[in-house]
């Protein structure tokens, strides 16, 4: 037999054996077949996770921009930084999917999530070097009984004017004894409002009566606002202070009430005489990124004292044991456009689920 014949013979004999092996593999039960390598499966799993998560995450990132249209849309604005973290994790999922289109989409969503945290959306007061008035606002949370911690916060801030929300009767002795703040809003107003004003200068306060949906109720919370004239010695202009606390947005009904409250107040403030120094301080129950804050400033012609697009958190979830840095900025001080801001500070924890906000203002 020649070498060629031998090779051909071997080849002919090998083919039936190979075919038999292939047939046996095909006939083997599915559980006995070799599985793909784990590394080959992971991208497929991450692609599935990406595809299932895309619409919910895109909604979280985008719907807050039209938060004035819907309660749930606006609720996402309370969690802008948290949503940005979710968008960042989504980019990691896309990266592990090894899919360029998915990575591109996730990158765009991350940019959209970071944009409101980097680009200011609310007009801000101008910086001023020489402050002449210090204003503090603090929601004490009526159930809080840490009176001494609050006293220490106020003593450290040393405000000229203090606006306090959610005051209940056990707090009255503490407020009346705060150093350097001898003038208080009329205690008879406490029958209708849980807001108090304590001042270094004489104040004359009155209730701001709002009607219809703008009226706070026990069901949706909040408080009747106060309007006070502050008699600042040597002031060239009259100073009017509003202490506010719109309804909470935990319910859709409260969201409607809060929006109506802010809208009615904005028009009321816009009607103040020209040349009046106006200060609005309180728990707004509205995060910085909500369209309702922008709308309020536009109608009232006021500006916020907050600095930058990502103000410090002032409301945190103490009831869940969350630290303050995981909170959201809803307590603020707004002022007339010609009032400057030298500094703004957020207090330490004083037992409430809010932190106090203090602004140093340059009053013209």
* Residue spans per domain, the chain: 35-118, 133-362
Q: Which tens digit of pLDDT belongs to each residue from 230-276?
A: 999 988 999 999 999 999 999 999 999 999 999 999 999 999 999 99
Q: Which tens digit of pLDDT belongs to each residue from 133-170?
A: 999 999 999 999 999 999 999 999 999 999 999 999 99
Q: Which tens digit of pLDDT belongs to each residue from 106-120?
A: 999 999 999 999 999
How far is 364 from 362, CA to CA, in rounded Å? 6
Q: Which residues of 74-87 are buried (b: 16+ CB within 10 A; e: fewer)?
A: bbbbbbbbebbebb
Superfamily of segment(s) 133-362 = Endonuclease/exonuclease/phosphatase (3.60.10.10)
Q: What is the pLDDT of residue 344?
A: 98
Q: Which pair of structure tokens corresponds to residue 341?
A: 């801001």
Q: What is the pLDDT of residue 4?
A: 39
Contact 161, 133 (CB under 8 A): yes
Q: What is the pLDDT of residue 14?
A: 43
pLDDT tops 70 at residue 38? no
pLDDT tops 70 at residue 1? no
Over pLDDT 90: what percentage of the chain? Answer: 87
Across the beta sheet with 277-283, the strand order is 203-208, 223-230, 239-245, 277-283, 331-336, 302-304
Contact 350, 150 (CB under 8 A): yes
**213: which residues sit within 8 A by CB, 6+ positions away?**
256, 257, 260
**314: which residues sit within 8 A by CB, 6+ positions away?**
327, 328, 329, 330, 331, 332, 346, 354, 355, 357
Q: Which pair of structure tokens corresponds to residue 195?
A: 């807001």
Asked whether the CA dihedral 263, 269, 274, 277 is positive or negative, the reply is: negative
Over pLDDT 70: what percentage of the chain? Answer: 89
The Cβ of residue 254 has, within 10 Å, a number of other Cβ atoms equal to 22
**312: which residues sit within 8 A by CB, 6+ positions away?**
329, 346, 355
No. of H helices and E strands in the chain? 9, 12
Q: Which pair of structure tokens corresponds to residue 127?
A: 């910086």
Contact 194, 245 (CB under 8 A): yes
How far is 120 from 328, CA to CA, in rounded Å? 16
Token pair 């450290």: residue: 156
């Amino acid at each position: 037999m020649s070498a060629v014949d031998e090779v051909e013979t071997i080849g002919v004999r090998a083919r039936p054996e190979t075919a038999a092996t292939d047939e046996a593999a095909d006939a083997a039960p599915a559980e006995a077949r070799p599985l793909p390598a784990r590394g080959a499966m992971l991208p497929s799993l991450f692609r599935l996770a990406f595809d299932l998560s895309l619409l919910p995450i895109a909604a979280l990132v985008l719907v807050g921009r039209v938060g004035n249209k819907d309660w749930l849309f606006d609720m996402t604005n309370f969690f802008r930084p948290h949503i940005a973290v979710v968008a960042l994790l989504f980019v990691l999922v896309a990266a592990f999917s090894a899919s360029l289109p998915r990575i591109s989409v996730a990158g765009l969503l991350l940019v959209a999530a970071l944009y409101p945290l980097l680009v200011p959306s609310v007009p801000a007061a101008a910086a001023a070097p020489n402050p002449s008035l210090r204003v503090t606002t603090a929601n004490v949370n009526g159930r809080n009984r840490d009176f001494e911690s609050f006293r220490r916060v106020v003593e450290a801030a040393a405000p000229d004017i203090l606006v306090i929300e959610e005051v209940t009767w056990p707090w009255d002795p503490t407020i009346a004894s705060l150093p350097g703040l001898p003038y208080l809003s009329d205690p008879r107003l406490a029958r209708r409002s849980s807001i108090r004003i304590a001042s270094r200068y004489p104040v004359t306060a009155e209730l701001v009566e709002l009607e219809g949906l703008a009226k706070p109720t026990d069901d949706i919370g909040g408080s009747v606002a106060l309007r006070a004239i502050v008699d600042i010695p040597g002031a060239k202009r009259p100073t009017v202070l509003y202490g506010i606390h719109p309804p909470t947005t935990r319910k859709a009904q409260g969201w409607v009430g809060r929006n109506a409250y802010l809208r009615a107040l904005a028009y009321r403030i816009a009607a103040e005489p020209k040349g009046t120094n106006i200060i609005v301080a309180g728990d707004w129950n509205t995060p910085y990124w909500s369209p309702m804050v922008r709308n309020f400033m536009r109608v009232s012609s006021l500006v916020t004292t907050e600095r930058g697009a990502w103000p410090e958190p002032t409301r945190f979830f103490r009831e869940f044991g969350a630290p303050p840095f995981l909170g959201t900025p809803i307590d603020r001080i707004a002022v007339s456009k010609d009032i400057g801001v030298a500094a703004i500070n957020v207090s330490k924890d004083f037992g409430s689920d809010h932190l106090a906000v203090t602004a140093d203002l340059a009053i013209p």
